[in-house]
């Protein structure tokens, strides 16, 4: 109860602040020349074996990237310890970007990003997975890395991301409107992210948030969301394995009518959905105009017709106050051109519960 009350008090204080005065800004490198589309580089994968042998090639129908001939240059994964993995994306080395990870399973495990770096001509993303209580554990997970620059040519929708330090300094950011994303730190484990020029005056689009921490288990989520015609404000909340508010690094991405890693048309086949007791129309998107549907609760079942094209990936993030968190109960299922995702939420002890979440799916094409 004390965590929930603290959050409400902080939320009131944050809303009383004027955005320009409250936000912490950071000096960023000059943007690269304008691009025809985003991202500049990306890769995604699904680790389908929680104890992979060295240089393991995960499910080739659930991995892809922007490097030449991805089908001939697969993603590889090395396990470096219990619950500790390094995902090797080939031929996309470079600075900047963000990464997301989502645990896949019904056991209450979660996965987070430890960090990412160039490795020769490739990009490595380190992922750690934990069980309730904070011990490292072997787990299935989805992971993506993406980096963007410039302002895309109009293709509908918008996209942005932020990589924040524990104190709210912006370590990396992208905004397809050309604006500068900013972050302000509130009480322990609470931040306000401002993405100017993106979205709409009403709730539209999809968020994904991932903790980035090398020291211990951490979980991050969108705790609240305030849309405006001038941009989007997201309250980010992070907790440690003991369910206490915790200052850590985190990544946040926001997409409206765009794939979870930033692009649109191509890929032609993707979708996203936000459930918060209901499904607001503008947060329920299917790129071919079909009707996504939601059913069930533990786990949920999100069906997206006409977009199931391999290779593909999905991610899920929790929404709301408190330490509840969400992942995916099992890998997404394809049946003809229909894909079904299985978001599942847990309380702080790792028991399955009903909950609110953002979920997103994309093919490579």
- Return the ∠ at Cα 260 (arms to 59 and 66), rounded to 5°: 60
Token reading at 44: 């995604």
What phi and psi values does residue 348 have, to the nearest 5 degrees? -65, -20
On whether the CB atoms of residues 274 and 280 are closer than 8 A, the answer is yes
pLDDT value of position 153: 64
Task: Tell which wins on pLDDT, 33 or 233.
Answer: 233
What phi and psi values does residue 310 have, to the nearest 5 degrees? -95, 150
Region for residue 156 given its phi and psi (left: phi exceeds 0; alpha: psi -120 to 50; beta: otherwise) = left
Mean pLDDT for the stretch of residues 179-206: 98
Residue 129: pLDDT band by 50, 70, 90 thresholds?
Answer: very high
Residue 19: pLDDT band by 50, 70, 90 thresholds?
Answer: very low
Token reading at 215: 């020291």
pLDDT value of position 152: 78
On whether the CB atoms of residues 124 and 59 are closer than 8 A, the answer is no
User: Looking at the predicted structure, is the pLDDT value of residue 131 above 80?
Assistant: yes
Please give the span between the terminal C-alpha atoms of the chain, in angstroms, as a whole number.
Answer: 46
Q: SS3 helix, strand, coil % of the chain, rounded to 5?
A: 10, 45, 45
Largest CA distance in the chain: 54
pLDDT per position as a tens digit, 248-262: 999 999 999 999 999
User: Looking at the predicted structure, is the pLDDT value of residue 283 above 90?
Assistant: yes
User: Looking at the predicted structure, is the pLDDT value of residue 101 above 90?
Assistant: yes
pTM score, two decimals? 0.90
Q: What mean pLDDT, rounded, does the chain reach?
A: 91
Mean pLDDT for the stretch of residues 189-198: 98
pLDDT value of position 59: 98
pLDDT per position as a tens digit, 73-100: 999 999 999 999 999 999 999 999 999 9
């Amino acid at each position: 109860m004390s965590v929930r009350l603290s959050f409400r008090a902080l939320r009131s204080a944050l809303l009383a602040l004027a955005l320009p005065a409250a936000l912490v800004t950071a000096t960023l490198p000059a943007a690269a020349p304008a691009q025809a589309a985003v991202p500049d580089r990306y890769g995604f994968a699904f680790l389908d074996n929680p104890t992979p042998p060295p240089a393991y090639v995960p499910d080739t129908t659930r991995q892809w990237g922007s490097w030449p001939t991805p089908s001939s240059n697969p993603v590889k994964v090395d396990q470096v310890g219990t619950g500790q993995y390094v995902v090797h994306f080939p031929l996309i080395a470079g600075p900047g970007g963000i990464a997301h990870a989502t645990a896949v399973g019904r056991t209450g495990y979660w996965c987070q990003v430890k960090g990412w770096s160039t490795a020769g001509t490739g990009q490595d993303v380190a992922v750690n997975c934990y069980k309730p209580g904070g011990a490292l554990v072997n787990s299935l997970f989805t992971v993506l890395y993406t980096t963007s620059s410039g302002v895309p040519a109009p293709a509908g929708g918008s996209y942005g991301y932020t990589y924040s330090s524990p104190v709210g300094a912006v370590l990396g950011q992208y905004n397809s409107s050309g604006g500068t994303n900013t972050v302000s730190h509130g009480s322990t484990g609470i931040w306000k992210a401002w993405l100017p020029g993106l979205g709409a005056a009403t709730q539209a689009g999809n968020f994904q948030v991932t903790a980035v921490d090398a020291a211990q288990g951490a979980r991050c989520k969108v705790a609240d969301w305030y849309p405006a015609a001038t941009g989007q404000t997201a309250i980010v909340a992070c907790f440690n394995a003991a369910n206490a508010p915790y200052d850590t690094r985190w990544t946040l991405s926001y997409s409206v009518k765009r794939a979870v890693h930033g692009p649109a048309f191509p890929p032609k086949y993707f979708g996203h959905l936000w459930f918060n007791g209901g499904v607001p129309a503008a947060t329920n998107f299917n790129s071919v105009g079909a009707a996504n549907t939601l059913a069930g609760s533990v786990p949920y079942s999100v069906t997206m017709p006409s977009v199931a094209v391999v290779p593909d990936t999905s991610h899920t993030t929790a929404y709301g106050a408190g330490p509840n968190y969400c992942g995916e109960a099992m890998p997404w299922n394809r049946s003809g051109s229909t894909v079904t995702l299985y978001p599942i939420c847990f309380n702080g002890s790792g028991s399955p519960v009903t909950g609110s979440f953002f979920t997103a799916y994309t093919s490579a094409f």
